[in-house]
């Protein structure tokens, strides 16, 4: 028997288990989040005898006589101050890391009540945040310290409406670690499920013997592919990804599932998984797209290894290059990248009278409903998907991971079940950023005016399609950059391999192609004798110009304004021998575009004297639920305390599409405005809110774009484009000391939220450029969460976000989205800064022989 204290109360247990598991599952302390299980992320931070420690690497047997404190044990005043400060400062995005950050903050403030920024950064160096870039977390720590010294809360000053940094609708709950994520859900009689993965990336499965596992203690069932009642293959666009691999089939990557084991406890399931015997023949994997395109390459899918070809051609690029005074011609390579969201995938499912309900944390509840209904061979209306909070996504939670397995188990066994991935499984299973191999030729005349681009892009889409086609499409449509020239010849091809699948990732293909384009542009600046700022000014898109894809830049285009915002700093640092300044730019679409139907929806319902807003838009920390409330209050004039926002639910909220492509603020934000206009008119007629009790108002917004290859002279590819310009400043050692990032986002609905998106995107972009390295050997990942190269709080430079607001359109109050573009310019800006430092023109990521690679 092990005896110790938790939050001042005596507890005891006979089980020698992970302290995190004990705190979460036996004591119900949901603030202790299960992030990585290897002591690397800090989401499970607790105080043990006053010392900050990770609960996931502590055992209950080592706690004898000790005192453990979690966030639940904070005093009432502490909880109020911490929650207020972190929400007020914009430090809460997805929120999954936040409780651990609060515990780390308390560990600091208990010994140093007046810390500076450096002390705060040191205090949270063991805690990862993938959303915020740490800037606003440190702001929150300093505000917390100030309020605690005063010993009182500031007076509450409620804000509402557009353009104000209001408190987020979910900020308090997330900050205090309340049970709001899927893994926090516990149901009576709940079973646990887990998949048996393939023994090799490419293996012919001859037989699967589950007899010993089926008879193991505590096991309820072992499910195989033949038990699936409906369509085995999943996939939002291309249904090529089996929920389970059949005997006689060949696996395609290390994450393929062969069987589902279901039991009373996770320990029983883990033990039974080891009892399954798989007879297989290991086959050589196809590990690169170059190998996949060989004539004698093994076919990964029957239709061939080529998933998608995308082309964008305007004018005569070859002739333009031939006539160019200067040409930059290089081969570039970018790697896999792991999303590294803090919350591993988890789903809870349970049977209903005629269907199944699933609680999940992902990016599109209606996508889940469609996939699961197909798997179970039932009508979509019999599948209800309810969203919990999403602990980070960045595109990595758009595909099926555990939702379909949980639903299948609940449907077959008629019992509730939880299926969750360990961090190691998550790294193996979900899609990554596409590696790309790119050959770019960019030309200009003697004055530095761009003349033409020829680009060839090869993408590794991995074992399954996921969103490989659309990602390649965005890489091609944006490859020419935010510049005014029309001679472009861009072709991309995506190939299947036996690597981990690749799919949506913040930046969506543009991160890769803009890296190549911007590096070439900086080389042209060198060749012409111009500087990086001036060559961009001479080519900058302005309202009325024709974009390289043919669309006419509208009046909201503010790329030149973003550049002008950097001018003074560029020349100041460029003329200082103590620094090396790199510059890069980017553009990114809002909305799906290219002819794909795209609709946002928002429902406003009057009930109990209040208005409840509902939409299926997933809030992954970007704040869409807060945004639709702000827009509704701005339009109607209602005070914020009379408006609430519900979570996505396919039974209660209208389909607003997937949270992807920086689309929700534009599309569902506009839908909220339209619902508000209807409500406002009805309220004026009725005279009081009480007279509208029970009424609902549906707002809907759709945009019709033109497909790629349209024969229109000026096709409209997307509803809107945002633009960015960024400086990366190195010191003499090569350390990034400052990043200045100017963004044209149209209108900042929530300014502090926009700043947080920029800061988080910059840090993610710096990781892509400098430190993150997802290594594989023979198609098998060789990384853990702690070895991904994620930047920590002590490695973050000063980040200066600049918000450019220039959009007169009433559509969503002028907002054009901000989530994806923020990550794009950092890598080429870093490349340019390092080139100025040592004269090496680097063409692969992460950048070789830098301060960060040497330090590692």
- Closest alpha carbon to 75 in 100, 106, 45: 106
Q: For the chain, which ranges sit under pLDDT 50? A: none
Residue 155 makes CB contacts below 8 A (sequence gap 6+) with: none
Biggest CA pair distance of the chain: 83
Other Cβ atoms less than 10 A from the Cβ of 707: the count is: 12
Q: What angle do CA 567, 568, 574 make, to 5 degrees?
A: 85
CA–CA separation, 86 and 176 (whole Å): 10
Which neighbouring-strand residues pair with 440?
330, 455
- Whether the ω angle into residue 846 lies within 30 degrees of 0, i.e. cis, is yes
Torsion of CA 286, 292, 295, 298, to 10 degrees: 40
- Give, in order, the Cα–Cα distances in Å from 18 to each of 54, 56, 58: 10, 6, 6
Q: What is the pLDDT of residue 855?
A: 57
CA–CA separation, 633 and 635 (whole Å): 5
pTM above 0.75, yes or no: yes
Residue 374 in tokens = 């197909």
Tell me the angle at which helices 135-150 and 98-109 cross, rounded to the nearest 10 degrees.
50
How far out from the chain centre does Cα 309 lie? 26
Q: What is the pLDDT of residue 856?
A: 52
Residues 341, 737: contact at Cβ < 8 Å? no
DSSP letter assigned to residue 52: E
Element (H, E) at 604: strand 599-607
- Closest alpha carbon to 327 in 454, 437, 436, 438: 454
Q: What is the pLDDT of residue 804?
A: 98
CA–CA separation, 1 and 24 (whole Å): 19
- Give, in order, the Cα–Cα distances in Å from 95 to each of 83, 149, 341, 795: 11, 25, 11, 21
Q: How many CA atoms are closer than 13 Å to the CA of 5, on its beta-carbon side?
A: 12
Q: What is the pLDDT of residue 153?
A: 87
Element (H, E) at 817: none
Residue 853 makes CB contacts below 8 A (sequence gap 6+) with: 770, 771, 846, 847
Torsion of CA 804, 808, 810, 814, to 10 degrees: -10
DSSP letter assigned to residue 300: S
Q: What angle do CA 8, 13, 18 make, to 5 degrees?
A: 90
Count H helices and E strands in the chain, helices first. 22, 31
Other Cβ atoms less than 10 A from the Cβ of 448: the count is: 21
């Amino acid at each position: 028997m092990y005896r110790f204290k938790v939050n001042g109360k005596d507890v005891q247990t006979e089980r020698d288990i992970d302290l995190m598991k004990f705190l979460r599952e036996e004591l119900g302390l949901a603030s202790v989040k299960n992030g990585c299980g290897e002591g690397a992320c800090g989401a499970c931070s607790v105080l043990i005898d006053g010392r900050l420690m990770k609960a996931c690497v502590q055992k209950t047997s080592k706690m004898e006589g000790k005192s453990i404190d979690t966030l639940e044990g904070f005093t009432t005043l502490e909880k109020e101050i911490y929650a207020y400060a972190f929400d007020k400062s914009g430090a809460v995005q997805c929120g999954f890391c936040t409780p651990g950050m609060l515990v780390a903050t308390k560990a600091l403030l208990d010994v140093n009540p007046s810390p500076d920024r450096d002390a705060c950064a040191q205090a949270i160096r063991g805690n990862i945040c993938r959303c915020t870039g740490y800037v606003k977390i440190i702001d929150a720590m300093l505000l917390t310290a100030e309020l605690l010294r005063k010993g009182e809360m500031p007076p509450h000053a409620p804000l509402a409406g557009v353009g104000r940094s209001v408190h987020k609708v979910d900020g308090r709950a997330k900050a205090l670690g309340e049970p709001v994520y899927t893994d926090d859900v516990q149901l009576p009689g709940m079973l646990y499920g887990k998949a048996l993965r393939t023994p090799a990336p490419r293996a012919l499965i001859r037989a699967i013997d589950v007899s010993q596992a089926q008879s193991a203690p505590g096991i309820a069932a072992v499910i195989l592919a033949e038990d699936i009642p409906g369509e085995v293959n999943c996939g939002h666009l291309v249904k090529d990804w089996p929920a389970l691999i059949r005997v006689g089939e060949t696996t395609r990557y290390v994450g393929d599932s062969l069987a589902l084991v279901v039991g009373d406890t996770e320990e029983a399931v883990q033990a039974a998984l080891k009892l399954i015997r798989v007879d297989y023949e290991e086959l050589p994997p196809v590990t690169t797209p170059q190998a996949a395109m060989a004539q004698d390459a093994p076919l990964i899918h029957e239709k061939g290894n080529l998933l998608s070809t995308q082309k964008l051609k305007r004018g005569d690029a070859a002739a333009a290059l031939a006539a160019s005074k200067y040409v930059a011609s290089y081969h570039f390579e970018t790697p896999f990248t792991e999303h590294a969201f803090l919350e591993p995938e988890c789903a809870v499912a349970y049977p209903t009278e005629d269907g199944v309900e699933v609680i999940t944390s992902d990016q599109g509840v209606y996508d889940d409903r469609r996939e699961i209904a197909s798997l179970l061979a039932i009508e979509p209306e019999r599948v209800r998907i309810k969203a919990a909070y999403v602990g980070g996504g960045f595109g990595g939670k758009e595909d099926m991971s555990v939702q379909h397995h949980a639903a299948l188990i609940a449907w077959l066994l008629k019992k509730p079940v939880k299926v969750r991935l360990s961090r190691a499984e998550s790294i193996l299973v979900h899609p990554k950023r596409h590696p790309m191999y790119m050959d770019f030729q960019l030309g200009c005349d003697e004055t530095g005016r761009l003349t033409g681009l020829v680009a060839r892009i090869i993408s590794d889409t991995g074992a399954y399609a996921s969103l490989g086609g659309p990602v390649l499409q965005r890489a091609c449509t944006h490859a020419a950059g935010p510049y005014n020239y029309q001679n472009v010849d861009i072709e991309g091809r995506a190939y299947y391999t036996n690597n981990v699948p690749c799919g949506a990732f913040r930046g969506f293909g543009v991160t890769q192609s803009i890296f190549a384009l911007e590096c070439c542009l900086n080389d042209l600046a060198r060749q012409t004798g111009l500087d990086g700022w001036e060559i961009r000014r001479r080519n900058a898109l302005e309202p009325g110009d024709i974009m390289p894809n043919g669309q006419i830049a509208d009046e909201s285009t503010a790329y030149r304004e973003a550049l002008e915002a950097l001018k003074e700093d560029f020349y100041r640092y460029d003329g200082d021998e103590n620094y090396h300044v790199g510059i890069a730019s980017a553009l990114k679409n809002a909305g799906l575009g290219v002819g794909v139907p795209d609709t946002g929806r928002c429902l406003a319902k009057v009930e109990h004297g209040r208005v409840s807003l509902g939409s299926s838009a997933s809030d992954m920390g970007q704040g869409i639920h807060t945004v639709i409330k702000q827009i509704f209050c701005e339009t109607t004039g209602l005070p914020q305390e009379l408006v609430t926002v519900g979570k996505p639910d396919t039974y209660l909220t209208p389909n607003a599409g997937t949270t992807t492509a920086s689309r929700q603020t534009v599309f569902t934000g506009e839908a909220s405005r339209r619902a508000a206009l209807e409500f406002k008119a009805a309220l004026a007629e009725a005279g009081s809110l009480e007279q509208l009790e029970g009424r609902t108002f549906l707002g809907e917004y759709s945009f019709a774009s033109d497909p790629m290859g349209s024969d229109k002279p000026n096709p409209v590819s997307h509803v809107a484009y945002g633009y960015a310009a960024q400086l990366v400043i190195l010191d003499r050692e090569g350390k990034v000391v400052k990043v200045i990032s100017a963004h044209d986002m149209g209108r900042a609905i929530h300014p502090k939220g926009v700043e947080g998106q920029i800061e988080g995107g910059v840090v993610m972009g710096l990781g892509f450029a400098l430190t993150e390295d997802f290594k594989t050997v023979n198609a098998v990942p060789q990384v853990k969460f702690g070895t991904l190269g994620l930047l920590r709080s002590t490695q973050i430079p000063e980040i200066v976000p600049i918000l450019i607001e220039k959009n007169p359109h009433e559509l969503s109050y002028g907002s054009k989205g901000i989530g994806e573009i923020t990550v794009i310019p950092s890598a080429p800006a870093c490349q340019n800064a390092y080139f100025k430092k040592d004269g090496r023109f680097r063409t692969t990521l992460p950048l070789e022989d830098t301060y960060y690679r040497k330090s590692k």
